[in-house]
Copies of this chain bind each other. A is one copy, B any other.
C-alpha cells in the first residue's frame, strides 16, 4: 500500500523501496563487494570529502559552535581512513540474511522454514557526526537493506560528499545506487515527511538527543526503534564489597560521561550508607563530580563531592555530565521500585556479594541490561561481541539492547509442499 502523494522525500523513499527489492535477494559476495568498493573509494576520494567537510567546519565556527562539537564534526585523512577500516570490519561479520532461524517438517509433510530477510528500507535520523553516515550505510547494506540517511544540517556538505562516494561505489559494484540515499532538504519538514512515509519506509531509527527521539516516537506512523536515552543506575547492596562498589561507580560515571551507558543515579542500601557514602563522595569529589543527593545524602556534605539537594527532576535526568543523583534506599525492593519509576530502562547494575540479592534484582529490574558486579558501561555492541552496532534499543519490541546486524532483519516463513491443501 504505497502512498500516492509525491514530494522530494517521498520520491526518495519510493526509489529506496525499488532498490531494496533488488538488493534483498543479492548474495553476500555482491554486498561484501560493494562494501569493499566503498572502503577503497573513501580512501581514494579523501581529498574531496575533506574539502566538503571544511565547508561545514567553517560554517560551524562562524556560527560560534563549541570546539567540542566542531571536533566531532571534523574529518581528517586519518579519520576517513579509520571510517574505511570500520567498513572493512563489517565485511568480515557473518551475513544475517538467509539464516534459518527455525525449521521443521510438519506432520502433513510440509517443510517449514523461518528465514531471516532484510527489513527493506531503513531510515536513520541522526545528529552531527559524519562517520555515522558511513557506519549506518555499511550496516544496512550488509544486512540487505536500503538506507535513507537524514543527518543534521550542520554536516550537510560532508554527508552529501560521503553519500556521493558511497553511491558511486555501490553502483560500480553492480547494485542500484539508490540503496544509499541522503534525504533531501535540511529543514524539519523533511524529517516529518519521512516519519509519515508508512508503507515506503519499514523502520525509522532516531539516533541522538532525547528530544529528537521523543519527536520521532510521538509523530511517526512508520515503526520506530527507540535508541539511546540512558538514565542508568548503580545500586550498592547491603552485601556489597564497598571497594568494588567505588570502582564500579567511578567507572560507570566518569569513564565517559557523555554516553548513554554512563551511570546517572547511585542508590545505596541504608545498612551500608554510613560507611559507603563517605567513600563514594570522596572518590567522586576527586574526579570532579557533583552529587545531587536526597536528605540522607545531604548529611554527608563536606566529605568530598559537593552535594546539592536532589529533586524529582534529578531522579529522571540523564545528565551526560559530571553530575550524579544519589539516594539512600531502605532495602533492595525499594531500589527496584526507584528504578522502575525513574529509569529509562537502559542499564542498571547491582553491586552485591549476595546470590539471593543478585537473583532478586535481576528478576525484578526490567531494563535492557541488568549487570551484576559490573559497570553499566559494558552495555555496548562492541563489548557484547556483536562486532557492530546501529544503536542501543531501549524499547521492548523487535530489538532490545545493542542492535547488531540480526536486529536489522525481519523473517519470513517459507513453506514447501507438493500440492498440500487443508
Contact = CB atoms under 8 A, between A and B. Distances in A.
Interface in A329-376: 340-341, 344, 358, 362-364, 366-375
A364 B341 CA distance: 46
B223 A417 contact: no
Identical chains in the assembly? 2
A25 interface: yes
A311 interface: no
A384 B412 CA distance: 13
Chain A binding surface SS class: mixed
Nearest to A344: B1
A247 B421 contact: yes
A123 B388 CA distance: 34
A400 B412 contact: yes
Interface string A236-279: 00000100100110111001000000000000000000000000
Interface residues of A, number: 73
Contacts of A3: none
A410 B369 CA distance: 12
Contacts of A411: 400-401
A399 B200 CA distance: 19
Q: Which of A202, A316, A384 has the most CB of B within 10 A?
A: A384
6 closest A-B pairs by CB: A374-B417, A251-B421, A396-B410, A374-B420, A398-B398, A25-B363
Interface of A: 1-2, 21, 24-25, 104, 106-107, 110, 112, 114, 117, 119-120, 198, 202-203, 217-218, 221, 223, 225, 241, 244, 247-248, 250-252, 255, 316, 340-341, 344, 358, 362-364, 366-375, 377-379, 383-385, 395-398, 400-401, 410-422
